[in-house]
Amino acid sequence: MQDYISEVSRCPFLFLMLRKMWSVDVLLGQKDGFRYVGMTQNLEHRLSEHNSGKCKFTSDHIPWKIIYSELFANALSARDREKYFKNGCRKKIS
């Protein structure tokens, strides 16, 4: 993740464009294999929140790692994809 962030920071235009994008992410709780699907505009910060225990729902499954991520231009598209993962696809990817 850090390598990706340092590459993006070398290109200011790309960095600004990605800051406005949304991501839908699948996280894996390394403690018990639990999978969590969520969306955010700042994946690094959100992962840090999950791993610090700030999110009550995910605190029992720390530590977390990213196993899948997709970028979207807007929140509506990201929300649709998040719903897809949470509603039927979750059974297929487990």
Q: Where are the domains of the chain?
A: 22-93
Q: Provide the token pair at 19.
A: 């800051």
pLDDT digit string, tens, across residues 67-88? 999 999 999 999 999 999 999 7
Average pLDDT (17-31) is 88
For domain 22-93, which CATH number applies: 3.40.1440.10, 3.40.190.10, 2.60.40.1180, 3.90.1150.10?
3.40.1440.10
Q: In what order do the strands lie in the sheet with 35-40?
A: 35-40, 22-29, 64-72
> What is the token pair recorded at 28?
């894996």
pTM over cut 0.85: no
Question: Strand locations in 1-94, DSSP E?
Answer: 22-29, 35-40, 64-72
